């Protein structure tokens, strides 16, 4: 595919990476991702505090030159230095010791990344881990990244968004239909409309972002043995099966509901492109078991591409030089792949 350029002729085939919580492992895995870059990797720039990243590199003994750049300069700078687009928020916290004052920079980094991608100055955004508690104390009103990105899609793209969380790996892709809810609340929240809406967003994103012409969606049952025709609960018969029938009537290849305990072995996984699960742990346990260090969080349903490592800030190991960058590297490479897939039809080229 021929790289797209901005109107000024500069190459904008780059990724925008947010700083995340600067006291977590985000800075050091970002430094490592640059050190482990390979020929053919799409360049990236970080939105954050250049001085903080330099301090992190020095403390870890990492030879990473930091270059303060504008987004249009990032691709040229990437070969010899880690490009950083500076935010007006100096970092106060240290590794493993978060400073509540850093929350403003963390939020601004997400906001600017979404704006730059929406404006075409980057092909996708990759978000480093955050800690919601620190953000809440700074007035952040969203449950997490996903919901905030939905608001930013409306702000910068004037498009309503229905964000859906997918955990993706080469071995398995899962979508939890209910997410950060207690099990009791998840069961109360589960509905035909929620299943249908989530599945439609998933199917559309698998087509437009992942290039799968006819996505195959497998649905887990809620109860053991998928309810055994109502013997172990009626949600399969009352909610899930009718929702799947509605999806089939709209041309979606919706399979199941299947007993969750037999959905995730290798032979079963070969029969679908994504597994849609009824609650958080039903989805995340199998993907983290199969791909703990390589799984990527992808937000479907946005007008731009966003990925993230599938782990948290890990304050307990921050600054010790033992954090693994595998998930961030996987998130960068998946973002590049999805960004190219989304961009190609608009340019009239084949990715």
Instruction: Convert the pLDDT of each residue in 247-264 to its tens digit.
Output: 999 999 999 999 999 999
Amino acid 135: pLDDT = 80
Same domain, 12 and 136: yes
> Which pLDDT belongs to residue 345?
47
Mean pLDDT of 32-36: 96
Q: Are residues 124 and 10 in the same domain?
A: yes
Residue 349, pLDDT score: 38
Identify whether residues 225 and 342 lie together within a single domain.
no
Interval 227-253 mean pLDDT: 93
* Residue 262's CATH number: 3.40.718.10
Residue 122 sits in the same domain as residue 147: yes
Task: Confirm whether 223 is domain-assigned.
Answer: yes
pLDDT value for 8: 38
Please indicate, yes or no, if residue 296 is contained in any of the structural domains.
Answer: no
Give the number of domains in the chain.
Answer: 2
Q: Are residues 183 and 281 in the same domain?
A: yes
Average pLDDT over residues 192-219: 97
pLDDT digits (tens, 9 = 90+) for 59-100: 999 999 999 999 999 999 999 999 999 999 999 989 999 888
Task: For residues 124 and 207, state if they share a domain.
Answer: no
Domain check: are 88 and 135 in the same one?
yes
Do 141 and 236 belong together in one domain?
Answer: no
Which pTM value belongs to this model?
Answer: 0.89
- Residue 297 forms part of a structural domain: no
Q: Are 106 and 21 in contact (CB under 8 A)?
A: yes
pLDDT tens sequence across 146-199? 888 989 999 999 888 899 999 999 999 999 999 888 999 999 999 999 999 999
Question: Is 217 found in the same domain as 154?
Answer: no
- For residue 119, what pLDDT band results from cuts at 50, 70 and 90? very high
Cα–Cα dist 242/60, whole Å:
55
Asked whether residue 197 falls in the same domain as residue 122, the answer is: no
Structural domain contains residue 230 = yes
CA distances from 162 to 205, 250, 302, 332 (A): 11, 18, 7, 23
- Average pLDDT of span 280-298: 94
Q: 315-338: buried (b, 16+ CB within 10 Å) or exposed (e) per residue?
A: bebbbeeebbbbbbbbbbbbbbbb
- Please check whether residue 295 lies inside any domain of the structure: no
Give the confidence band of 2 by pLDDT, cuts at 50, 70, 90: very low
Domain that holds residue 20: 1-162+302-351
Co-location of 86 and 113 in the same domain: yes
């Amino acid at each position: 595919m021929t790289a797209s350029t901005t109107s000024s002729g500069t190459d904008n085939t780059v990724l925008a990476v947010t700083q995340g919580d600067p006291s977590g492992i985000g800075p050091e895995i970002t430094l490592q991702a640059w050190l482990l870059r390979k020929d053919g990797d799409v360049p990236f720039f970080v939105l954050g505090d250049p001085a903080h990243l330099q301090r992190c590199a020095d403390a870890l003994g990492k030879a990473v030159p930091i270059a303060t750049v504008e987004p249009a300069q990032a691709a040229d700078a990437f070969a010899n230095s880690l490009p950083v687009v500076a935010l007006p928020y100096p970092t106060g916290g240290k590794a493993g010791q978060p400073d509540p004052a850093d929350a403003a920079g963390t939020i601004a980094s997400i906001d600017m990344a979404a704006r730059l991608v929406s404006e075409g100055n980057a092909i996708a955004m990759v978000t480093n881990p955050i800690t919601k508690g620190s953000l809440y104390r700074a007035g952040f009103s969203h449950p997490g990244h996903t919901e905030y990105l939905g608001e930013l899609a409306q702000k910068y793209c004037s498009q309503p968004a229905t964000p859906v969380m997918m955990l993706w790996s080469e071995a398995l892709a899962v979508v939890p239909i209910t997410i950060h809810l207690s099990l009791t609340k998840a069961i109360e929240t589960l509905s035909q409309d929620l299943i249908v809406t989530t599945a439609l967003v998933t199917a559309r994103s698998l087509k437009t972002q992942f290039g799968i012409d006819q996505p195959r969606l497998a649905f887990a049952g809620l109860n053991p043995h998928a309810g055994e025709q109502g013997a172990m609960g009626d949600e399969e018969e009352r909610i899930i099966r009718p929702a799947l029938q509605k999806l089939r009537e709209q041309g979606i290849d919706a399979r199941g509901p299947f007993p969750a305990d037999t959905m995730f072995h290798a032979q079963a996984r070969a029969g679908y492109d994504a597994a849609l699960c009824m609650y958080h742990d039903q989805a995340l346990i199998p993907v983290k078991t199969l791909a703990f260090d390589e799984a990527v969080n992808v937000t479907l349903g946005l007008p731009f591409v966003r990925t993230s490592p599938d782990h948290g800030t890990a304050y307990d190991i921050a600054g010790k030089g033992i954090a693994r960058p595998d998930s961030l590297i996987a998130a960068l490479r998946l973002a590049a792949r999805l960004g190219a897939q989304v961009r190609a039809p608009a340019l009239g080229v084949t990715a």
